[in-house]
């Protein structure tokens, strides 16, 4: 992305970000920065990047399904939905929760039928039918776990079609074979039945920016599929 490196390890599936890297301002030993069974791989924005050899799914939550903030619960374990375990804490009162299953997790502010959290009596209604509401992410976004496949966000198709071209039908940005499940920050959120690792790439490994290449999708590494665009970066998928 802009100032971060994307790294792909085919033997490490689960990824989470935690603030357990520091105690009293001093870095902890690498062996203490991640939960048991997770490996420390570095930092991003002051948070540890932890990876797992099994296909764990993770989410960052600021409010649980009871509407409580992390400061309002007796134990942070109460922040995680049933079947998910607490992995650690994150910025501004967020917590990381994970489950040892390979599930797509979507960040939604607008439901597929165009409703925001203020338009519904139950915020779980923002999630698509058949998906599980996990709680609330940052900025009143709703976190939803699906039955399988993968999730990605787009504001432009590979053929150059943008939101302005299809408005108000933002779902038309989702490529063939995928389903529109909602929106977040002027981007369509799409669900593909194919499990993929998704990466948002602004520059390739040689430092070339997507917008300066003959095709923006050329920033995707060899073996990765160009799915579309988000802001100035290419959305790339790897099966």
Q: What's residue 205's pLDDT?
A: 85
Average pLDDT over residues 100-119: 96
92 inside domain: yes
Residue 128 has pLDDT above 90, yes or no: yes
Q: What's residue 9's pLDDT?
A: 66
Identify the domain containing residue 1 by its residue range.
1-101
> pLDDT for 45-67, tens place per residue?
778 888 888 889 999 999 999 99
% the chain with pLDDT above 70? 90
> pLDDT for 147-174, tens place per residue?
999 999 999 999 999 999 998 999 999 9
49 inside domain: yes
pTM, entire model: 0.89
Q: Number of folded domains in the chain?
A: 1
235 inside domain: no
Among 49-58, 75-84, 137-146, where is mean pLDDT lowest?
49-58
63 inside domain: yes
1 inside domain: yes
Please state, in angstroms and as integers, the Cα–Cα distance from residue 227 to each residue in 34, 56, 67, 112, following that order: 32, 23, 35, 20
Residue 20 has pLDDT above 60, yes or no: no
93 inside domain: yes
Question: Cis omega before residue 168 (within 30°)?
Answer: yes
> pLDDT for 31-50, tens place per residue?
777 888 888 888 877 788 88
At residue 156, φ and ψ (nearest 5 deg) are: -155, 135
Q: What's residue 11's pLDDT?
A: 60
For residues 66 and 203, what is the distance between their CA atoms, to the nearest angstrom? Answer: 41
Q: Identify which has the larger pLDDT, 32 or 133.
A: 133
């Amino acid at each position: 992305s802009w100032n971060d490196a994307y790294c792909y390890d085919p033997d490490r599936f689960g990824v989470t970000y935690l603030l357990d890297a520091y105690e009293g301002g001093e870095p902890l030993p690498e062996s203490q920065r991640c939960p048991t069974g997770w490996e420390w791989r570095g930092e991003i924005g002051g948070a540890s990047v932890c990876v797992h050899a099994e296909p764990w799914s993770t989410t960052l939550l600021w409010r649980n399904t009871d509407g409580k903030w992390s400061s309002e619960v007796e134990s942070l374990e109460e922040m995680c939905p049933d079947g998910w375990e607490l992995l650690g804490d994150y910025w501004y009162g967020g917590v990381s929760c994970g489950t040892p299953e390979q599930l797509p997790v979507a960040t939604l502010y607008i439901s597929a039928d165009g409703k925001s959290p203020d338009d519904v009596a139950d915020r779980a209604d923002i999630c698509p039918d058949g998906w599980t509401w996990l709680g609330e992410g940052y900025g009143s976004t709703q976190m939803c776990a699906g039955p399988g496949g993968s999730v990605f966000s787009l504001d432009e198709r590979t053929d150059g079609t943008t939101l302005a071209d299809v408005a108000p039908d933002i779902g038309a940005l989702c490529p063939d074979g995928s389903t529109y499940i909602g929106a977040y920050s002027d981007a369509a959120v799409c669900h593909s039945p194919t499990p993929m690792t998704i990466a948002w790439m602004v520059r390739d490994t040689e430092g070339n920016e997507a917008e300066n290449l003959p095709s923006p999708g050329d920033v995707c590494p060899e073996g990765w599929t160009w799915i579309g665009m988000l802001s100035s970066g290419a959305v790339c998928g790897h099966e």
